[in-house]
Chain A
């Protein structure tokens, strides 16, 4: 059967073919047209503070070592030896002077330069080691400590790529005098699902809450989310949902972190800290953003930020029907350790591999792949038309804005996805 991208996503992206989720050829195009062309999230500067510090990352299925060089610079290299291709780094994180391949002991500096070839003393013509370093990710840039890499040398600067999403990200990052930090190694787990559904879910799908999570989220809480909720798309593929709290809301309802398990049951110390953060919010991020209480954020193609439970997540594809999902707890960098430890449970109670809500999300992501991988239903694409054309510009909020039930965040994502695949169609 031939494959035409134009037949997978219609003009206004209100109809999405099942093949988008399940076809091997689509996945091959995604690798080339999206993962080879986008800024992909690698890690946060708080994870690699000292020279020699490193963490592992992925760009699609390609393993990456993200490191702090001896010169203080940030380096991203493909974790594969130039000799026989083995990974030269096996630890999830650490601090080192050298990465050493186990096979023949070729060794690399933390910046990725090839330092020694033990066998070269025994041959006459010495290899040119300067040409044999680890393959460097050609573009690496950071914004507010968030480090991204791209395989596309000609990609636009990261700042421009993020565009107006920075306005919404800063509503969180800038709330804290020293920004945020990532706690520990990511939680990583594998699901039999397509990578795009976790992305779509975290990009703006607030409205499944009332149904999928109805056994956990009280109806009043969900009604409040929808009543105060906004969905925005700043650039196709980037989006945010949040509540804009009424100006006269009590501080405990307005403050970030209060509605999580740690915030609710963690005691006075943490609650006073959260109130203090909120008391300074207007000064730090302005009146409008001080009233903003975020829900889901998405950065194209596969980075998500769940503000309400303070977790960054990356959806790493492992084929059309498999995803390796990574998530980190994120806390204010200035908070005392005792408070960070309580706040991390705002994330882990409900999200991560054991999370009470994540359990329900993973369930439907796996089930959706089952539905996407069936035969005899190609004439029944998925309906993505809710709220078609109802999004509009807003006086104070950058981007297109609508109610959370409007599925425009997903339509914009798939329109961009379709165009980027069409640009490489026929090349794979």
Chain B
């Protein structure tokens, strides 16, 4: 992926924004079943683990020395990503939210997310690589309120009825995980 985003027409940029804002509203309104409709059944939903790595002396003076990528134990690595999920996992999470005995969701969290910095990075046929950032405010009784911050690296599939999320990799910006869970739908 080049470091430059693709030039998009105002219509295309607007279409991407509409999709992401709609998605954010569904999630904050706890309409997870409708959200699942935006997700491809072949989805890979990933969250790399993020570690404090040793500085590589040979890379000193280079941007590579402190690159974000070096900190990630992702799907390709022999470490252990925090999430490597399929449609089945997401379905389980969504279904749980509407069960009366789902104690981690009852009472449900109050969330509000702002999604921005939407950049189309690559296009191949109907498949779009899109980056976006989010800040997500999260409040639940019994826990301190927290703000989740991160980047989403998506592959969107452009289909007749609109976009579908074919792949999502969520890169979280924590140094230490001081949040009650990283199991939300980001």
Interface residues of A (CB under 8 A from B): 90-96, 183-185, 187-192, 211-212, 214-216, 261, 265, 328-329, 337, 340-341, 344-345, 347-349, 352-356, 358-360, 362-364, 366-367, 370
Neighbouring B residues of A352 by C-beta, 8 Å = 80, 82
Q: Which residue in A261, A265, A344, A360 is a CB contact (below 8 Å) of B104?
A: A360
Q: Which residue in B47, B81, B89 is a CB contact (below 8 Å) of A261?
A: B89
**Contact at B82–A265, with CB atoms within 8 Å?**
no
* Central interface residue in A211, A261, A370, by most chain B CB within 10 Å: A261
**Contact at A189–B96, with CB atoms within 8 Å?**
no
Task: Give Cα A353 to B84, complex, Å.
Answer: 13
**Contact at A192–B54, with CB atoms within 8 Å?**
no
Neighbouring B residues of A215 by C-beta, 8 Å = 96, 99, 101-103
B112 at interface, CB cutoff 8 A: no
**Contact at A183–B79, with CB atoms within 8 Å?**
yes
Contact flag A187-B80 (CB < 8 Å), given A354-B182, A360-B103: yes
Neighbouring A residues of B135 by C-beta, 8 Å = none
User: How many residues belonging to B are interface residues under a CB distance threshold of 8 Å?
Assistant: 40
| Distance in Å: Cβ of B17 to nearest Cβ of chain A | 28
**Contact at A216–B178, with CB atoms within 8 Å?**
no
**Contact at B181–A265, with CB atoms within 8 Å?**
no
Neighbouring A residues of B40 by C-beta, 8 Å = none
Contact flag A363-B80 (CB < 8 Å), given A349-B85, A353-B181: no
**Contact at B78–A184, with CB atoms within 8 Å?**
yes
Neighbouring B residues of A358 by C-beta, 8 Å = 181, 183
Q: Which of B67-90 contact A (CB under 8 A)?
A: 73, 75, 77-86, 88-89
**Contact at B88–A362, with CB atoms within 8 Å?**
no
Contact flag A354-B82 (CB < 8 Å), given A93-B54, A185-B51, A364-B103: yes
A359-B181, A362-B181 known, 5 other contacts, Cβ within 8 Å: A94-B54, A189-B177, A215-B96, A354-B181, A356-B92
Neighbouring A residues of B86 by C-beta, 8 Å = 265
Closest to A56 in B: B52
Closest to A183 in B: B80
**Contact at B78–A183, with CB atoms within 8 Å?**
yes
B176 at interface, CB cutoff 8 A: yes
**Contact at A340–B78, with CB atoms within 8 Å?**
yes
**Contact at A359–B183, with CB atoms within 8 Å?**
yes
Neighbouring A residues of B54 by C-beta, 8 Å = 91, 93-96
Neighbouring A residues of B89 by C-beta, 8 Å = 261, 349, 356
Contact flag A328-B80 (CB < 8 Å), given A91-B53, A92-B51, A189-B178: yes
17 residue pairs from A and B, CB less than 8 Å apart: A183-B79, A184-B73, A187-B49, A188-B177, A189-B176, A190-B176, A214-B101, A216-B96, A261-B89, A265-B86, A348-B82, A349-B84, A353-B177, A354-B47, A359-B183, A363-B104, A363-B180
Task: Give Cα A183 to B53, complex, Å.
Answer: 16
| Distance in Å: Cβ of B142 to nearest Cβ of chain A | 6
Please report whether the interface of chain B is mostly helix, strand, loop or mixed according to DSSP: loop
| Distance in Å: Cβ of A218 to nearest Cβ of chain B | 12
B25 at interface, CB cutoff 8 A: no
**Contact at B180–A185, with CB atoms within 8 Å?**
no
Number of inter-chain CB pairs below 8 Å: 120
Q: Which residue in B73, B85, B178 is a CB contact (below 8 Å) of A185?
A: B73
Neighbouring A residues of B77 by C-beta, 8 Å = 184
Task: Give Cα A360 to B105, complex, Å.
Answer: 9
Q: Mark B144-186, 1 if CB is under 8 A from A, else 0.
A: 1000000000000000000000000000000011111111000
B93 at interface, CB cutoff 8 A: yes
Task: Give Cα A328 to B82, complex, Å.
Answer: 10
**Contact at B52–A188, with CB atoms within 8 Å?**
no
Neighbouring B residues of A96 by C-beta, 8 Å = 54
Task: Give Cα A337 to B181, complex, Å.
Answer: 28
Task: Give Cα A192 to B140, complex, Å.
Answer: 13
Neighbouring B residues of A212 by C-beta, 8 Å = 103
**Contact at B143–A354, with CB atoms within 8 Å?**
no
| Distance in Å: Cβ of B20 to nearest Cβ of chain A | 22
Q: Which residue in A92, A214, A337, A356 is a CB contact (below 8 Å) of B53?
A: A92
Neighbouring A residues of B102 by C-beta, 8 Å = 215
| Distance in Å: Cβ of A399 to nearest Cβ of chain B | 32
| Distance in Å: Cβ of B165 to nearest Cβ of chain A | 18
Neighbouring A residues of B52 by C-beta, 8 Å = 90-92
**Contact at B181–A344, with CB atoms within 8 Å?**
no
**Contact at B53–A353, with CB atoms within 8 Å?**
no
**Contact at B80–A348, with CB atoms within 8 Å?**
yes
Q: Which residue in A95, A184, A337, A364 is a CB contact (below 8 Å) of B80?
A: A184
**Contact at B49–A185, with CB atoms within 8 Å?**
yes
Neighbouring B residues of A191 by C-beta, 8 Å = 180
**Contact at B49–A184, with CB atoms within 8 Å?**
yes
Q: Which residue in B55, B96, B99, B182 is a CB contact (below 8 Å) of A353?
A: B182
Neighbouring B residues of A185 by C-beta, 8 Å = 49, 51, 73, 79-80
**Contact at A184–B79, with CB atoms within 8 Å?**
yes
Task: Give Cα A91 to B50, complex, Å.
Answer: 12
Neighbouring A residues of B177 by C-beta, 8 Å = 187-190, 353
Neighbouring B residues of A360 by C-beta, 8 Å = 103-104
**Contact at A359–B104, with CB atoms within 8 Å?**
yes
